[in-house]
Amino acid sequence: MRVVVADDVMLTREGIVRLLKDAGIDVVAEADDAELLLREVRLKRPDAAIVDIRMPPTHTDEGLVATHRIRTEHPEVGVLVLSQYVEPSYALRLLEEHPERVGYLLKQRVFDVAVLVDALRRIDDGETVVDPTIVARLFGRQRRQDPLAELTEREREVLGLVAEGLSNRAIAGRLFVTERTVEAHVKQVLLKLGLDLNPDSHRRVLAVLAYLRGERSI
C-alpha cells in the first residue's frame, strides 16, 4: 500500500513513517502542511493519506479541510485523520462530508502499529474507521429515555462495532460468530432503535453516530 503522511510535528511524523515502513507499507511522501499534502497527493496518487487534524497556519481544522479536498478531487484516495481531541463533532463532520474511505483516530493510538495498519487496510477496503474512544463517549451520553437499555449485551457490542465503522464481516471476525448472525443482530438493533435504513449501506455508521448523539433527524 502507498501512503502519504502529513503532520507538522516532526517527531510524530517520523515516528509514524518508521512504524509504517517497518510494517511494510510504502510511504511515498511526507508533508508538514496542507498545501504540500495536497500537492503530494496530486503528484503521487497514493492509496491513502494520514492527516493531522491540526496543521499550520491556524492550527484549527486544516486537516479536515484538506481531507474534504482530497476526497472530492481524488475519490480513490482514502484519508485517515489523526487527532488529539476526543471530539465526536469532528468525526461526525468528517463522515457527513464523506461517508466512505475515511477514518478518525486518536493520535496516541496510531503508535500501536496493528491498529494503524488495520485502520489503513479498512479504509483501503472502502470502510470507515471511528476511534473506539469516540464511540464510547457517545455510548456514555446520558439519555432521558435510553433505548440502548433495551438492547442485549451482544447487541450493544455489535452496535458499538458498527459505530466504529466495521463491516459485518469484520464484526463477525471480531466476535467469532458467523456473518449471518451479525446481520441478524444489526437488523434487530436498527429495529429496536427505530432507525429505518439499509443495514448494509455505508451511511449506517454516520446514522448510528448521529443517533447516539441525539440527532434523530438524520
Partner 1 sequence: MARVPVPPADLARLAAGAVVSAYGLGALAVARGPGERTTYAGASELAAALTTAAGLALVAAGMVASLARQGRRIGDLALLAGFLWFAPVWAGWNGGPALARSLGTLAAVFTLPVLLHLVVAFPSGVLRSKGARALVIAVYLGAALSALGRALFRDPFFDPACWDNCTDNVFLVHSIPDVARAIEDVDLWFVACAAAALAALCVWRLAAASGPARRTLGPVLAGGIALAGATIAHSVVLSRAAIEDPSDSEFLAVFVVGCAAVIVIAFGLPWALVQARIQRRSVARIAADLGEAPPPGSLESALADAIRDAELQIAYWLPGARRYVDGHGDPVDEPVAGPARAVTRLIRNGHEVAAITHTATVADLEREVGAAVRLALENERLQAEVLAQLQDLRVSRTRIVETGDAERRRLERDLHDGAQQRLLALSYEVRLARAGATADGDEELARMLDAAGDETAVALDELRDLAHGIYPAILTEAGLAPALQALADDAPLPVELDELAPERRPPAVETTAYVTVAEAIEDAARRGAAFLSVRVHGADGRLSITAQDEGRPRSHDLPHLADRVGALGGTLELGDTSLRAEIPCE
Chain contacts with partner 1 (rule: CB under 8 A): 9, 11-12, 15, 18-19, 22, 54, 59-61, 84-90, 93, 107-108, 111-113, 137-138, 140-144, 213-214
Least distance CB 54 / partner 1 (angstroms): 8
Query: From CA 99, how far away is CA 118, in angstroms rounded?
Result: 18
Contact 52, 82 (CB under 8 A): yes
Q: How far is the CB of 211 from partner 1 (least distance, A)?
A: 14
Nearer to partner 1, 83 or 167 (CB): 83
Distances (CA, A) of 94 to 25, 36, 43, 53, 160: 25, 21, 24, 11, 18
Q: How many CB atoms lie within 10 A of CB 9?
A: 13
Nearest to partner 1 of 142, 153 (CB atom): 142
Closest to partner 1 by CB, 19 or 117: 19
Nearer to partner 1, 90 or 211 (CB): 90
Q: Quote the least distance from Cβ 66 to partner 1, whole Å.
A: 15
Closer by beta carbon to partner 1, 126 or else 147: 147
Name which of 192, 186, 213, 205 is nearest 147 in CA terms: 192
Which has the closest alpha carbon to 105: 71, 123, 129?
129
In the bound complex, what is the minimum distance in angstroms from residue 16's beta carbon to partner 1? 8
Beta-carbon contacts of 48 under 8 Å, excluding residues fewer than 6 positions away, are 1, 2, 3, 4, 77, 78, 79, 80, 120, 123, 124
Cβ 2 to partner 1 shortest distance, Å: 22
